[in-house]
Structure 1
Amino acid sequence: MFPERFSNLPAYAFPRLRALLDHHQPGGDIVHMTIGEPKHGFPAWVSDVIAEQAAGFNSYPPNDGTPELLQNICDWLGRRYGVRPAPEQVMALNGTREGLYNAAMALCPETKNGRQPVVLTPNPFYQVYAVAAVSVGAEPVFVNATAETGFLPDYAGLSPALLDRVAIAYVCSPANPQGAVASRAYWRALIALAEKHDFRIFADECYSEIYRRDAPVGALEVAAEMGADPDRVLVFHSLSKRSNLPGLRSGFVAGGDESIRRIRQLRAYAGAPLPLPLQRAAERVWADEAHVAENRRLYAEKFDLADEILSGVPGYASPEAGFFLWLPVEDGEAAALKAWTETGVRVLPGAYLSRDTKAGNPGKGYIRVALVAPRTEVQSALISLRDCLYG
């Protein structure tokens, strides 16, 4: 029987979308702009490395990552953020979703100050945050991230009594779906809040390498600047968006010695390490930046197109990073249905990524549009959306 505690979770977004759209005929050639699955090419040599290392499928892979992979990740963190953890402070992940979930399993206490612990999550949110909270018996608290808060959650605005129960706070920067980037001041304030109320920050930084101007600051670098407890902040990264390799399932978590030790211990019993040939490929991918710069350039072209095409849309905000548009509409479901039946462009209602709260559903008046298709397809689709929804 499905555990009772899971009964109140919001339905997953894409089954809801299929139920909304699939019994209607598309109004034109179908363009998929719903899911954040990168479509740019990945380096051709990735396939060569996997083929060369194929004999490794005959061996159990290192559970925490090969020494070479862990070292290359540490070196990348040093180049990117100026922090260079020891390999013992990093663990390779089978995609960051595994890490975002299992870190809560490994690190969330059964009680906090004698009460049920709280896990904070931005709203809209990546569903694994909420599922992780419920799985560990914590109370998920959804904090609206709206235009008024810079599209990032204002955890400091919560009551001290609630903050004293917080065990974990998830933050996604650059934010999915809004593309907002946490500033150095935002991280400093949140880390100070976590130190004061004794909770951990899980920084989901999967979109960190897709930015338009300045590289986003990282939670780990700010924590190091502040001299914060090394176990206070854990960061999660992936090759999915950075390198267009979602199927490689390669990511990592980095943090303090004790946090990583406990996550590694859980992986030893319940995890699924990355196969050895894929780890060998990931070693090289983390060491190469040329393909990342090209990937960023391709997205920048499409964001420039979006700015040009949608400049007259009331409330349009050009995102700082990531590869989504968070477009204001009167009603996200109605807009998604209209776009599908009149143009064939498939977008996601923002409410499907959000939870209803006392302050309302912060995604209800938005649609999420993924700019993952080729440039010409994106251009045509955005013109169709503009003319259909805002004409």
Structure 2
Amino acid sequence: MNHNLAKLHPYPFSKMSNLLANSTPDPAYYEIKLGIGEPKHTPPAFVLDELRENLDSLCRYPTTNGLFELRQTIAHWLERRFFLHHVNANTEVLPVMGTREAIFSFVQAVVNHDDSGLADNVDRADGLDSSEQAPSNATVVMPNPFYQIYEGAAILAQATPYFVACTLENNFKENYRAVPKKVWEQTQLLFVCNPNNPTGTVMTMEDWELLIRLSDQYNFILASDECYSELYFDEPPIGLLQACATLGRNDFKNCVVFHSLSKRSNLPGLRSGFIAGDAKILQSYLQYRTYQGCSMPIPHQLASILAWQDERHVVQNRALYKEKFALWMAELGELLELRMPDAGFYFWIKVPDRFNGDDEIFVKALYEQVNIYALAGSYLSREVNGHNPGKGYVRIALVASVAESREAISRIRKLLSC
């Protein structure tokens, strides 16, 4: 077996299962799941109809780079959404079976590790998980807290994860200016989650300019996970390709983005997304995927075309989330330290003092006393230099219906008022 498998951390939901293994929820309440970021809004019916009507296409092998019609639809969507002059559907867009799979395989494809030595000259106190031995000189930079696929993919690519903390002191955004030069010199890939999961912050043009300048200086790939980009409240977040175009970098040099229909269109089970950006990078990644053999089924592609072409259902989706966030802020704002995110569907909530600031104690109380499943923030983060930036926070996903949100609020008010 691959010896690096032993270095993988348990997934957050596995940790939650262990935490709650001996807990029993109050039987007076039905379960409300607010810990998993799985959209519960109704998916667009016309997309499901298209999927059903084309099931006979399952008798054909899909090509690795997908249907041209899908790539062209995605290219046009990118141009409209991010004010891009032109996106080449043949060279700058690649459909994928969901961004989770694509992010993982992308790391395997682009990391060029050096087996001859370990990254002993990188100061672990600056952002490396001190419990792990750095496997190679190749470094993958990522936020902390973070989507765990970034870390797992880096470890299995024999690269060193480097964590940049998102803390209250920096408005829950990464302070890239604090990353040491010696880390940048070994960085091959940097992941940005924009909007961020779980903190809900978004990148400004100034933020993008800094990272693009660093990418040019140290020649690393800049990868932006933008799966939550369409779940905003006022102004749409600036995407990486949009930042490139603003700076006149129309070739998107060393820059790629990941997008999905899971959150945008409430279609997590369709496993439909894409990667777009630098044509040279995508050319090599396409070759990797050809050997990997992971192609989107044709019915999924045809349904995806309709989803990317329609914005009405996305507007309705945003309206539902906006209603729920307003409801939570109005009803719980005086009992919990609720901070309205810039985008996304998560609350990143500081644990109330009565629970000693312990996120594990708080999520256990939510589960046992009012049957609400939330996610301990420390499970989404890594301890670096004695500090876990997720400790003392809880992630709550506003994925349930408005009615269930009202019920959850009522229960939490009861819990906090006891």
TM-score over 0.5 for the alignment? yes
8 Å CA contact 1:324–1:371 kept in 2: the answer is yes
Deviates more, 1:208-217 or 1:381-390: 381-390
Residue 80 of structure 2 is matched in structure 1 by: 79
* Gaps in structure 1 of 5+ consecutive residues: none
Distance 1:74 1:218 in 2: 14
8 Å CA contact 1:156–1:193 kept in 2: the answer is no
Secondary structure class of the residue paired with 1:351: helix
Distance change >3 Å, CA 294–CA 345, structure 1 → 2: same
Q: In structure 1, what residue type is equivalent to 2:10?
A: A
- Listed one character per residue, the Cα deviations across residues 258-284 of structure 1 (whole Å, up to 9, x for unaligned) are 110011001100031110011000011
Q: Is residue 57 of structure 2 the alignment partner of residue 36 of structure 1?
A: no
Residue 379 of structure 2 is matched in structure 1 by: 352
Deviates more, 1:275-284 or 1:49-58: 49-58
Distance 2:385 2:215 in 1: 25
Q: Note the aligned Cα RMSD (angstroms).
A: 1.7
Distance change >3 Å, CA 355–CA 386, structure 1 → 2: farther
Residue 401 of structure 2 is matched in structure 1 by: 374
Secondary structure class of the residue paired with 1:71: helix
The correspondence for 1:340, drawn from 346, 350, 367, is: 367
Residue 48 of structure 2 is matched in structure 1 by: 47
The correspondence for 1:199, drawn from 216, 220, 225, is: 220
Normalization by structure 1: what TM-score?
0.96
Distance 1:367 1:52 in 2: 42
Distance 2:253 2:96 in 1: 18
Distance change >3 Å, CA 262–CA 386, structure 1 → 2: farther
Shift of 1:359: 4.6
Deviates more, 1:232-241 or 1:303-312: 303-312
Q: Matched residue pairs, number?
A: 390
Distance 2:176 2:414 in 1: 38
8 Å CA contact 1:339–1:389 kept in 2: the answer is no
The correspondence for 2:302, drawn from 256, 275, 280, is: 280
Q: Is residue 272 of structure 2 the alignment partner of residue 250 of structure 1?
A: yes
Secondary structure class of the residue paired with 2:362: helix
Q: Is residue 148 of structure 2 the alignment partner of residue 127 of structure 1?
A: yes
Task: Give percent identity, aligned residues only.
Answer: 39
- Listed one character per residue, the Cα deviations across residues 175-232 of structure 1 (whole Å, up to 9, x for unaligned) are 1111111111111111111111211111000000001111111011101222346232
Shift of 1:159: 0.7
Query: Aligned runs of 1:166-185 on 2, under 5 Å?
Result: 166-185=187-206
Q: In structure 1, what residue type is equivalent to 2:146?
A: F
- Listed one character per residue, the Cα deviations across residues 57-112 of structure 1 (whole Å, up to 9, x for unaligned) are 00001211100000000000011001231011110010001111111112122249
Residue 21 of structure 1 is matched in structure 2 by: 20
Secondary structure class of the residue paired with 2:287: helix
8 Å CA contact 1:10–1:355 kept in 2: the answer is no
Distance 1:18 1:188 in 2: 41
Distance 2:292 2:166 in 1: 33
- Listed one character per residue, the Cα deviations across residues 31-81 of structure 1 (whole Å, up to 9, x for unaligned) are 111101101111111122122212210000121110000000000001100
The correspondence for 1:152, drawn from 161, 167, 173, is: 173
* Gaps in structure 2 of 5+ consecutive residues: 120-136, 352-356
8 Å CA contact 1:156–1:190 kept in 2: the answer is no
8 Å CA contact 2:7–2:155 kept in 1: the answer is no
Residue 164 of structure 1 is matched in structure 2 by: 185
The correspondence for 2:285, drawn from 257, 263, 267, is: 263
Shift of 1:349: 0.4
Shift of 1:372: 0.6
Residue 188 of structure 1 is matched in structure 2 by: 209
Q: In structure 2, what residue type is equivalent to 1:109?
A: N
8 Å CA contact 2:97–2:273 kept in 1: the answer is yes
Shift of 1:138: 0.8
Distance 2:72 2:104 in 1: 24
Normalization by structure 2: what TM-score?
0.90
